[in-house]
Amino acid sequence: MRLSSDQIQACNEPLLRRHQQAFARLSEYLEAEGFQPDALIAQIQQLQIAIPSWALGTGGTRFGRFPIGGEPRNLEEKIEDVGLLHALNRASGAISLHIPWDIPRDAAHIRSLAAALGLKFDAVNSNTFQDQPDQPLSYKFGSLCHTDPAVRRQAIDHNIEVIQYGKDLGSHCLSIWLADGSNFPGQRSFVQAFQHTLSSLQEIYAALPDDWIMLVEYKPYEPNFYATVIQDWGTAFLLSQKLGTKARVLVDLGHHLPNTNIEQIVATLMMEDRLGGFHFNDSKYGDDDLTVGSIKPYQLFLIFHELVQGLQSRNRSVDSLAWMIDASHNTKDPLEDLLQSVEAIQLAFAQALIVNRKALAEAQQQNDVAWCQELMQGAFRTDLRPLIAEARLQAGGAISPLHTYRQLQVRQQLIAQRGKKAVATGL
């Protein structure tokens, strides 16, 4: 199904007056603070968050899955779902495919389908963390790090095949997350596992087109609970340095031990020009994959503060990084959740844009600790929701995406079209 701009506008109509009043008040405040609302809106509209093809269905935990019905049954329907999100929020203009969960058999058809909905193809993701039914060799004991060169060969070839799919779709980025590691002390040589991983990545890197980026993701534990080969940003950074300038580190917010200072990692990676992209989610305990901004919104703002600082100091636009949601839920309508996640990202980004950086730099120089905090929290505590709504409205989207989604009964229509038992492939 598709949403027409007439449908969205009709839902905006009753909300318009209240929105305009709220936006006028906020504009007045922002102008007094020295910011131009139009310039902020242009930057907010530029930030497009890729939706992964595996996030469109209800997620599985290891204990069970409770499908919501009307989930996309194939890649075409997944693209259709991202199109629905983008029509509502005008900020989800990209899709990230996971191979082999979503193989684009007819690339030209898939590409034109996405283009008709205003969508681009973001990073393509390889998968060597599980065995596929027709796969000759098992990844039970790792993939790119495996002790057996034949298994490493298979995993390398898979990644090169994923690059080919990406080229056909117009993607420019390969994203690699490895589950490789060990469950028990002594099971593997750390050094050998690292070296095998590096040499495998070097072969994949050699197959990367010149205008592509390779993203190397890290994670401290899970599914291996003793050691992960690429356990932290330092390991991913080391690999990317050894590989070359097209290799970058991917930061997944959920892939850190509790209370890790992620914003400091971001600042360091930006300083070294090695940050490639983001996987957004939120967590309380581990890799919980909760809705972005639902647990630690201040941390998200602090991360964006460093991102904005890094981008501005390098004179880079926001689309020089790969932005993607990487989350999965058991209890919410996945499309509603994605609307909430995108909005949380936009809010944190906008809050970071209104930090008075000049005043902050001066206060830092003077070691005026209280004023530094005041400036940061002043930006964070400013309610910028009317600004985000205005950015959407001007781009043809919904003032309130979730409200409009429910009012237009999107899920009910998807269930009517696809059936109550339709379950998406993926996590």
Which of 158, 279 has the CB closer to Mn ion?
279
Closer of 33 and 222 to Mn ion (Cβ): 222
Among residues 252 and 333, whose Cβ is nearest to Mn ion?
Answer: 252
Please answer whether residues 10 and 407 qualify as being in contact, where contact means their C-beta atoms are separated by less than 8 angstroms. no
What is the spatial distance between Cα 134 and Cα 146, in angstroms, rounded to a whole number?
19
State the Cα–Cα distance between residues 192 and 197, nearest whole angstrom: 8
Minimum CB separation of residue 254 from Mn ion in Å reads: 7
Nearer to Mn ion, 326 or 390 (CB): 326
Distance CA 10, CA 331 (A): 30
Q: CA-to-CA distance for 149 and 203, rounded, in angstroms?
A: 13
Nearest distance in Å: CB 279, Mn ion: 4
Nearest distance, CB of residue 265 and Mn ion, angstroms: 15
Neighbour tally for 227: CB within 10 Å? 18
- Which spans of this chain sit near Mn ion (rule: CB under 5 A)? 252, 279, 326
On the question of a cis peptide bond just before residue 258, with omega within 30 degrees of 0, the verdict is: no
State in angstroms the smallest separation of the CB of 342 from Mn ion: 16
Q: Over 2-30, what HEC string results?
A: CCCHHHHHHHHHHHHHHHHHHHHHHHHHH
Between 256 and 279, CB nearer to Mn ion: 279
Q: In angstroms, what is the minimal distance from the CB of 32 to Mn ion?
A: 40
Taking the complex as a whole, the smallest distance from the CB of residue 115 to Mn ion amounts, in Å, to 26
Beta strands in 241-316 (DSSP E): 247-252, 275-280
Is residue 284 packed enough to be buried (19+ CB in 10 Å), middle (13-18) or exposed (0-12)? exposed
CA distances from 287 to 182, 266, 290, 324 (A): 18, 18, 8, 16
Q: Which is nearer to Mn ion, 326 or 337 (CB)?
A: 326
Least distance CB 14 / Mn ion (angstroms): 39
Distance CA 314, CA 305 (A): 14
Nearer to Mn ion, 119 or 253 (CB): 253
